[in-house]
Structure 1
């Protein structure tokens, strides 16, 4: 789709174009989709006598006095009278020439917010203009839009550029074509695109300001729906691109799986068996599986992934599991090695920190097919790593990678002739609304049942001035033979400072609890050191583990029954829920203490309240989405979603079912409309969805 250069507009030179680029405005057409944040009503003149403090208004009157007054700050005070009363204009920054404008008898019209001041109602630095007789009756015909802007770009200048864009649209110099066919628009009861743009940039005086402020006007909803549709279509294209390739057909029912299950010290839950049936159906097809498995903390996703990997091994192929951190990857490696090696399966380990001979050996075993299973970090999918016959790639905590790292797996199939099946796992429950948008290219399975014997964790919030009571609580738990975590976070976003805080906390707790063994683990320790400390804690050699949020995933210590989280107000609900999931993994009653620093903001109090009231990860994730927005919940690396121009996944969640229906209908009835629509909303970003 061609765009009209911004410098074709009057007044747009290189400097202005650079400011507009900061707002992601690349062409004149983009200005039409740069929607207002809010509106001001300048369509009527308000009598001074009816002004209310805190309200914006247009007033008009005659100057009766203009004086420089000396108070705490020197100011210019202008008195303005209409037929109903008197108000004041106050300027703290003014020039002699400006003072000269306000001669007695001059008529003014101004816009601003009325505030209570020392002279009655006052307007501070209002927008104003001098009135000539022939302009006395003029008022704005529409509400005045207030746009998102940037430094050096004032509202009047931006409004003027947008008016120019609409003039070019009216003259036919540019166009915004309706991408949705009339039949579909009629069936889904969608107003015309041009009608929506006109209304939102130039709303009539009686437009419902409250509805517009909530993003609930039909014109806003039409545009939000079209933008969500563009994202849906782009991910659908990714799915189609991948599923055009061939994949190995894998039969999940084999002797290996039976032998594996008989060795497990527990039985699978009904939810695990249901999800395995869904995965088995995908693996048996000759098109690549693209499935996301969601499950709350401790629901048993790793066992499900292991069963899927066994299907690949039984078919004479390889499987790989990739995790975002060394710590989590190591945990998976230990689990799979313990399960698979007794079955005669060679498990290779590969991470960025693996060097020299060990790395060369792991790569050789994978490329020659001697290792049937690989576990590691993103190092698994670097160019110099080759698989013999990779049939299944399992990716844990997918939201930390993003779309294109997932697509890179297409290159790792058997000599490029097949594409591996993909199984994505997350222990961070993704709200259904986000899953429908961020993972529209994936089928979604849910493990919504915890293994028997798991007890819900009781959560309490305690102010940090009661730290000594919390320390005593740890002493009591350890005296009973239990173990505890103390998680350190800082208000500042600094890993170095957080690690330092953890070290100080470790020293303080060692002094306060001399009869117990206290360990420390943080992100700056070497991998081997971390593993050693974790193993000591797991084996009961340590009573208390002080840690940063590196323990969010990957540590399973059933004997740990108490967790203290410092500064929980700075973490998202989903992350707090993940941390809390490290305790309550045995049959003993467990507790999580949120040690906050008062005073709490209203939003922090609400978030911590949600955590205290619920242990349902999916409900918590929905509330996290409402309170923090999709960018924070998904992680900023998830391509595209954070940069939506109009749609808001929290606010517009009810549109997503219609978006899916509309997407299906458009692809069936007018597939040629999909690409131009994706280009309109995603532009260059659209290509990145499909890149490897």
Structure 2
């Protein structure tokens, strides 16, 4: 094991307790310390005369102890008076030991750093970093002082000392940290060398550009951010190569079946749908597994595209599987596919967690012997006890709810003949292009950027909570006109129980206020069968008003619903609000979305609700969401791992993504062995997880 790959416990003074604290910062090895970068810097390269210090100024002061006393007040403290010929200042310690008190004997010379503030004795520095000076003491720091992200019980001096040890090891054995990007590629892409960047960032010279270092745009930081983005992209490309290492069944023969399907539809396909279908057809014709993400705004017709792809699989003698993240959405897909495919003589099966006993065994048998040509369900489809006869295509809806590992797990389902199924992944969450390039680097991207004719844009208004009675009256008028409405309850607490209580209380209040209407309720704590029953009743018009938590965010299709009220919209992300709003405006009647907020709104919330009023373009909304909330929130990246970046910031470094793709290609072509160490450096254990299913 090389010097830098050793555990942090190999460093002087690091025992179990300190190792545990470092682990909280994701620092496990000596090398991890090198990549633990400062948040900001302090200038301790010159001594400031005490006489010119002012309240609010930070600086290094040096002087002789005039007195040191324990003073009683509201809190007992040690007060040390320090003089340097230009003035006098107090150092105040609220936490101190008798030994510390004895250090500050009159006449001792002290150098310290901190922020001066006005106190009871004039200017004071609370808990300064200090050291006692010996005769003929060395000059001040020759570089800026880094301030690192830290954790409870780990002080800045301790962390700086450990990183200093790691840097000395690096200097002694520079070969222990290879650059990762070979020199010819560094020159072509104009990248500084790695080790010099690390030295600069841990010990910047006094004249360093602090402004650029503070906002993360210094060339040394950009080099590291680029390398981290590159490692993520390479890891996803590895996933792609691993999936494509097995062949896939070529599926070139679906045209006639697709034509019969399209002629029975009550609408014609949009140009965008036809373009995406052409892209899919080209993928399916090859003996390599298709890995394609189809993005389409709410209501753009992704399900029809998925159905056409499924028909190509069936025409090629294969099965198609359709997986959705929730039973509500999966059931809706099942109804659609069943209604579309039964007239074509195609068998569609349903498999979800709630299917039990004989029905489940029968369905599994039909999947295993190939009678079930299309299988729709939740992740129950990918459990170990489900065996496909010949799975040719897997369609995954709302991909951001699943992760890379599920994409890999799909390979196991192509057991018959050692083939991997083609994968078509769909999302109604518009993802900004920069994010898609990095989060889904293992997928080809198609966009359905056109709504079917006849879809009416939803008018959106923001209304303060005190106008609630007017909003209730608006529901009455809409339902009197034969329409239906949603009322969506959101809570700031993560607690599902509290959300459900709020929804129940809202349902009771609305039932009382609107006694002539049939009011239903759906929330996350209801059994799937109960939810499905209420949704079905709403869909066929037995209920006028549906009170729900955000469980109705995806996929519920009730064309007669033309009004949605969203309570506390300021608590949801823009993309989630856009998804919810997409539940209305699915018919030919003018539809409305009322954002019922609690004043006062922060400037940030006002800006977000303003975006919802101004546009219904999902991609514009997604770009704004990325800007306001960051990539982790937009993507739900707990699964993608992108939220866990150490240095790169997808919003700040979006322009680097344009350079990452060509660099990744060049590295794989010219130095394929370099990608493994790079991925391990930046993803650590995560890198291993991409290789396992």
Q: TM-score, normalised by structure 2?
A: 0.95
Contact 1:252 1:283 in 2 (8 A): no
Which residue matches 1:35?
37
Three-state SS of the structure 2 residue aligned to 1:626 is helix
Which residue is 2:310 aligned to? 309
Q: 2-side partners of 1:246 and 1:74: how far apart?
A: 75
Report the alpha carbon displacement of residue 358 of structure 1 after superposing the two structures with TM: 1.0
Determine the C-alpha separation between the residues in 2 that align with 1:71 and 1:213: 39
Contact map agreement 1:282 1:289 (CA 8 A) in 2: yes
Is the Cα–Cα contact under 8 Å of residues 401 and 637 in structure 1 kept in the other structure?
no
CA separation in 1, counterparts of 2:486 and 2:56?
50
Question: Does the CA contact (< 8 Å) of 1:45 and 1:57 recur in 2?
Answer: yes
**Per-residue deviation, 1:106:** 4.6
| Structure 2 match to 1:261 | 262
Q: Give the whole-Å Cα distance in 1 for the aligned partners of 2:219 and 2:377.
A: 49
Please give the alpha-carbon distance, in whole angstroms, between the structure 2 residues aligned to 1:69 and 1:462. Answer: 57
Match of 2:115? 113
**Partner Cα separation in structure 2 for residue 609 and residue 259 of structure 1:** 45
Checking the alignment, whether the CA contact within 8 Å between 1:369 and 1:388 is kept in structure 2 is: yes
State yes or no: 1:362 paired with 2:358.
no
Alignment size in residue pairs: 691
Instruction: Name 2:93's counterpart in structure 1.
Output: 91
CA–CA distance in 1 between the matches of 2:641 and 2:167? 28
Distance in 1, matches of 2:79 and 2:153, equals: 28
Question: Which stretch shifts more, 482-491 or 411-420?
Answer: 411-420
SS of the aligned residue for 1:59 comes to strand
**Does residue 1:534 correspond to 2:535, yes or no?**
yes
Q: Which residue of 2 aligns with 1:570?
A: 571
Output aligned runs, 1:11-26, within 5 Å.
11-26=13-28
Structure 1 counterpart of 2:208? 207
Deviations 1:181-238 (A, max 9, x none): 1111001110011100100111111111121111101111101111111111111111
SS at match of 1:546: strand
| Equivalent runs, 1:170-189 vs 2, <5 Å | 170-172=171-173, 175-189=176-190
For the residues of structure 1 that align with 2:487 and 2:675, how far apart are their CA atoms?
Answer: 51
Deviations, residues 153-201 of structure 1 (Å, cap 9, x unaligned): 2221111111111111222287111221111100111001110010011
Q: String of CA shifts for 1:532-560, please: whole Å, max 9, x gaps.
A: 21122122221111001110012112222
Segment of structure 1 superposing worse, 276-285 or 536-545: 536-545
Structure 1: gaps of 5 or more residues: none
2:619 corresponds to 1:613: no
Provide, for residues 57-104 of structure 1, a one-character-per-residue CA deviation record: whole Å limited to 9, x for no partner.
Answer: 222334455555555545444444444444433333445554555555
**Deviation for aligned residue 1:629:** 2.3
What CA distance in whole angstroms lies between the structure 1 residues aligned with 2:84 and 2:477? Answer: 75
C-alpha distance in structure 1 between counterparts of 2:101 and 2:485, whole Å: 70
Moved more, 559-568 or 512-521: 559-568
Task: Return the alpha-carbon distance in structure 1 between the equivalents of residues 485 and 598 of structure 2.
Answer: 21
Q: Hey, what's the Cα distance between the residues in 2 that align with 1:444 and 1:615?
A: 22
1:519-530 pair list within 5 angstroms: 519-530=520-531
Is the contact made by 1:29 and 1:174 (CA closer than 8 Å) also made in structure 2? no
* Ranges in structure 2 where 5+ consecutive residues have no aligned partner: none
> Residue 596 of structure 1: CA displacement?
2.5
2:290 and 2:514 map into 1 onto residues whose CA distance is 52
**Equivalent-residue separation in structure 1 for 2:207 and 2:624 (angstroms):** 35
- Alignment correspondent of 1:272: 273
Deviations 1:9-29 (Å, cap 9, x if unpaired)?
A: 111222222222222222212
Distance 1:173 1:307, change over 3 A: closer
Tell which deviates more after alignment, 66-75 or 207-216: 66-75
Q: Distance in 1 between matches of 2:488 and 2:633?
A: 21
Please show how residues 160-559 of structure 1 align to structure 2 within 5 Å: 160-172=161-173, 175-251=176-252, 253-413=254-414, 415-559=416-560
**Conserved 8 A contact 1:4-1:174:** no
Which of 46, 62, 68 is the aligned partner of 2:48?
46
SS of 2:176's equivalent? coil
Distance in 2 between the 1:269 and 1:9 partners? 64
Bigger Cα displacement from structure 2, 479-488 vs 369-378: 479-488
C-alpha distance in structure 1 between counterparts of 2:20 and 2:338, whole Å: 55
Q: 2:127 aligns with which of 112, 116, 125?
A: 125
The alignment partner of 1:170 has SS state of helix
Q: Structure 1 residue 414: deviation in Å?
A: 5.3
Distance 2:659 2:406 in 1: 29
Which residue in the other structure is 1:679 paired with? Answer: 680
Q: Distance in 1 between matches of 2:107 and 2:34?
A: 42
Q: TM-score by structure 1 length? A: 0.95
- The 1:262–1:569 alpha-carbon spacing in structure 2 relative to 1, beyond 3 Å, is same
1:617-665 C-alpha deviation (Å, 9 max, x unpaired): 1122222222222222222442432222211112111101101010111
What are the superposed Cα offsets for residues 476-529 of structure 1, whole Å, 9 maximum, x if unpaired?
322333221111121111112111111111001101111211110112222222
**Offset, 1:475:** 2.3
Q: 1:222 to 1:98 in 2, by over 3 A?
A: same
**1:88 partner SS:** strand
C-alpha separation in 1, matches of 2:123 and 2:227:
45
Q: Do the aligned partners of 1:482 and 1:560 also contact (CA within 8 Å) in 2?
A: yes
Per-residue Cα deviation, 1:361-388 (whole angstroms, up to 9, x for no partner): 1111111111110000011011111111
Please say if residues 300 and 450 of structure 2, whose CA atoms lie closer than 8 Å, have aligned partners that are also in contact.
yes
Q: 1:568 to 1:632 in 2, by over 3 A?
A: same
How far the C-alpha of 1:690 sits from its partner, in A, is: 2.8
8 Å contact from structure 1 (residues 90, 125) kept in 2: yes
Distance 1:118 1:475, change over 3 A: farther
Equivalent-residue separation in structure 1 for 2:325 and 2:522 (angstroms)? 18
Contact 1:400-1:637 at 8 Å conserved across structures: no
